[in-house]
Structure 1
Amino acid sequence: MQQAKSHTFSLLLYLLGFLLLWEWLRPLSVITNNGSVNYFVGFAAFSFLLTYLRLPYWLTFPVKFIAIVYALHLLFFYNTSFFSGLWVDYFFEDLRENLIFVFDGNWVGLTDLFRSFIFFILLWIISYLMRYWLLQARRIFLFFFVTIIYLTILDTFTMYHADLAIVRTMIIGLVLLGLLRVIKIQEKEKVSFKRKKLPLSWMLALVVMVALTSAVGYAAPKFGPQWPDPVPFIQKAANGYEEYGSGQKDAKTGGAVQQKIGYDSDDTHLGGGFSMDDTPIFYTSGEYTHYWRVTSKNFYTGKGWINKPEGKPQKVDLSHLSDYPILNLYESGTEVKKSTDTIEYLGRNFPQLIYGGSLTGIKALNQKNADLQLNENSGLFEPTYHGRHISLKSYTLEYQYPTFSIPKLSRVKGTANDPEVIKSTYLQLPTSLPARVRNLAQELTGNETNRYDKVQAIVNYLQGSDYTYQIDDVAKPSGNTDYVDQFLFDTKVGYCDNFSSSMVVLLRTVGIPARWVKGFTQGTYKETLSDSKYEYEVKNSDAHSWVEVYFPGSGWVPFEPTKSFDNINSFNYASDTEDSQTTSTPEKTQDQQEQQEKQQQPEKQEQKTAEAKTTTPKDFHLSLGTVWKVLALIVLLLLIASFILWRSRKKWLPGYLLRQYSGRTDDHALDQAFRKLLYLLQLYGYKKRPEQTLREYAERVDRHLGTKDMGRLVTKYEERSYYKADPHQWSDCKESWENIIKKLRG
């Protein structure tokens, strides 16, 4: 086909194909946190250009790979020299770790660096497919149709507005379909155009039709949405939402939501059961065991928790953490010890920073130039990189570990010493709170004379026999039902959110400032490290919520009201002048200490066994020698695969050639197909002797195969070669060529 060989015409097809692909990339800046879409667009354009130039693979392959590596350097390591080996080592370490995640099915653990690398590879593949779709198969409708579906889904379920994108895509797609249809008609009817150009009348008709249909479609009146918003329904279906029937049963349970346990930033509607998820999230190592804080919330709505005011994240000055009141948990009357903890995430899928105690420093962030944003109303840390939210891999915390004096806590009576800012923020309750909640709090604390005893009375009540800890079939309040009231008086079944929320509300009703805190428990003990620190593994199932109560002179003191959980914080029973003797909560002091010592000091034989086991994913360290071993293994596998393909080529090559030339209609198809057939005949033992002419060779092949197809094919080939016959003779002899291959394949 003469027109297809026109560089100008091919360039037009490639340009339209690139514009169609661009519509896939435009929404990324809206639906993701990726602010660097231009890098992907630039690489896609570069790949299309190299594909259009039809340079040899041995040149385009390394050029495109270098372009990907350079783009990744600009995205993630721009402060490091491109020729530095440090970022290359990091890249290969990250690649190896993510490949393990892929084989383990841990898709959420994949890092941004690896995702970007895979996306560049995908764009590379698409640039090759575009060449096949546009210049060989002459089919683009499927990609065009999928693009329309893609845009409509994004317009429905995301913040991306695809109004103009749909119009652009329709115009580009219709023009492409029209041009490819014209080419097919020209090939089928064997029409030759002068100067290898499409007639102006054809082009004009195509442009007018596309412009007319686009204008009518854009200007015509359109129906509004005919269905209600499908997003809430789909979200409920995805979460396994199931409403109970009306009547007494509904009033009692309020419905149930089967969720998967783990940290969730949305606490506006608490309740509903969940299933366990023991996926590990991070490892911690430190001298002391404590809960891991993510955020706290101050405003109870009757259904859940929010922060008022909500607050906006601000960049943190890490050298002045003491300037942030939300981080200063303890006051001067609390005995504290300085300590450090190290946190290492198993997958970069947790975009918040966890911490324990009263923070004094954050160091060793694994990503250079990363900033930390702090919400000063909730204490929530979020790492960012040039304005984009990221997930850290590791960091080190410096903090103060407290020991609370029970005699000192017991001396707090009344609310006279509570600062006004504390009382105005942490005594809030909804006006709709049922009176029986207040009456219960008065009943529980009425005989106590100090704040500590009042708090402990509520803890003991919630951990008593009247309440049951359960994670499945847990009520979710509906209508005007209060979340805490439903748990305290109706269901009496729930998990940490039920117990902790109830304790905060009960304390506030008697004038004791308290707040709701969420994060993770200490996790599961793994081993004792050489520096006398304990290593713990924290999983999704360790997500937890607890209570902090304000004591003047001591600060915010953590309490654990959830049944089957113990308060692992350090309390001192001695008077202020006596030597410290630390334990846990009053009732469980000796038992908890023995249990903790038993947990933290496993048998020596178990330690030896644990040390002999394979390291966990967090221990990956990739040396340059390991990189070469991995590369050598990949090369070896490729060589083995190539050898197997070469040895079995008689089985797969005939079918491959039949598929390769089934849609060919260009003027070079006959020459190339004939040469491939000669190679295939030689492979099957029909080698042409030097003294034989093509006709003699064809007679021998036909005699062995029992056909006359080889003779007819040679005749057409000679006419094509010597007499400049019709270049489209391939369609006349294609059947003979296929018959010979099918005979060889048997």
Structure 2
Amino acid sequence: MSVNLEKQTPIYIYYGFAFLLLWEWLRPLQDFTETGNTFVFVIFIGLSFLFISIKSRWYVAVSVKIFYLLFVLHLLFFEGSFFNPAWLAIFIGDIIDNAALMLDASWMDITSPFRTLLFFILLWLLVYLINYWIIFQKRIMFFFIITLVYITVLDTFTEYDASFAIVRIVVIGFVLIGLLYLERLKVLERIKGQSYMTLKWVLPLTALIASAALIGILAPKAEPQWPDPVPYLTAYGSSDEGPNGSVNKIGYGPNDEQLGGAFVSDNTPVFTAVTEDRHYWRVESKDLYTGKGWDVSDPEAESVLMEPDNITLPYTEEGVDTIPLTASVDIESSYRYDHIIYPAGIKSVRLPRESVIDVNPLTELAEPRLAENRGTFPPESYNVSYEFPSYKIDELRKITSNEGTPEDIASRYTQLPEELPQRVRDLAAELTSENGNHYDKAKSIESYLGGPQFTYETTDVSVPRGEEDYVDQFLFETFKGYCDNFSTSMIVLLRAADIPARWVKGYSDGAFVQNLGGNEKEYQITNNNAHSWVEVYFSGIGWVPFEPTKSFTNPYDFTFNTNSQSSTETETPEQSQPEQTPRSEENDGASQPSSKNSSSWPFNIQIGSTTFYIILSAAALILFVLYKTRLRWMPYIILHKYKHRKDDKVYDQAYVALLKQLERYGLKRLEGQTLRDYARYVDSFFDVRDMSRLTASYEKSLYRGDNSKEEWIKSMKLWENLIKRIAS
């Protein structure tokens, strides 16, 4: 036997607590995964619970949620106008491609837009599952327990601090469990009404939960009884194996001549960064692959001295979309190197001492030097300004050769040792044979390394001996390793396909610490975050990062430009002619390079921008006002829907719509009350007889079999008067 909770306790109370409980699943994602903008998912589950609680028509709820889902996907992953159907066609093609990848169990190759879509669908299903538990089962214990387990596991095995999250979950869960148990008790004892009983139940329940939570917070806690497992499970980087086979600690080291071997994790802090976006932190790059590791092709290259406010490291070409950002870096005093740790696209650095920057032109290792004696010094705390790049997949796919690539880059970054085994070159040819451009070739290699045959491993990692090649050993024999194995293998395969690529080492984005207001977030980077990755050179675009290491996600933005022509289209002279029209100086400003459709969106609506929050707040306000004033505008929609219909089914549908409007107005029909009794109650409220006359006509057409269409025509005016009274 089930009970309608709406008749016992306001349903929005249950959905409100269920929303808070589900929210706890989303809170940690931005801290220990690459998931960003989690608030868009919070808004989605909020909308889902709202539509259920107000008992909205299913097609209205589905339409609004699909629109919101598509709007968010476009905002996150696509350029141009939302109303341009080109992006939707690209997205549908992406869904088809990813469906094929799922059938092949190529989970690591699934794209970010499709993963986001799947996550939205999962949340959608979760909301309906919770609705079933609350309304029909009147139980929430299972979901409460798995939420607690989920949060406690994250607290134990990741760097997410769930101290307050556990308190919130316990309070929310106990409130829901207590209220739902009361509803089951009412059904069991056949108790109806008696609001005082609910009050007598809720007051001690609230006191008990509050007391338990307060005691739990204030009570003394014992120290952990076993070591923190996080350092053993979150190791990202690599370190050399010693000559005697010893195992080294993870962390940055300048010598990469012999790669391979095991390492143990080290959670020693390296630096703290405050920045607006997650990204990797560069230290240096290497260009010479030796078959055993990495070296520099010209160790005697003369350093270049640069002013701190004008650092000219070539990273992206003109025309690539970038966002100007700043970050502050605070390096630990125990760090034993004097180099600057910086993001890609660095433009300037503000150091605590007057100095110049000594930059190696090959490795791009940057060290601050005192102007007087040229000696290096630890940079300690400093601020950097940089241009955060965003890459257009359409533009990358236009690069099909090294034409236009500087000769020194083309020769230096396609170097391979003559002793490289032929099967490595054959594998590169096989992986890229079906691709006509450099981007798809790089993605093909990246996807191959993310396949199920390769395993991320930090302890049982071989070191090539004798004539063994480091990459050949990984690709054809061991199939397991860490970031150095994956990144080096991708670069060698790219170079074998005549695509310039370089090996970059530094640190991954680190662990989230706290929000500092606005868009600024604080991250802590430790030795465990030592990492290496791949940068590929695209003519006319510059260096583009790729991430082949399993369990890692590329932190840089790759989007489709729906305003650009397809790479397969050829521009005719007539098409290019308008570009020859001179433009005024005011049209050549900073906004001109933007690929956004300025005619459709004359303002910035990027997630996190002020305009986005204004639009979001305005939309929420409009929805709230529409919901609160629904008794004034909804009757006119109902009038328009039924007034001009003359079919046989209209009377029944119009009468039911009237009953629902009266219930929204506050004239609720009691359980077991006949239509005639209810009609007299409505007439007494409005001091008319329209409802009784309309009901008599309705029952005549319904029970006596009289012509429903004719009865509707005769009584339509009575129905219209009542609808208008509700709206007045």
- The TM-score with structure 2 as length reference comes to 0.44
Structure richer in helix, relative to its length: 1
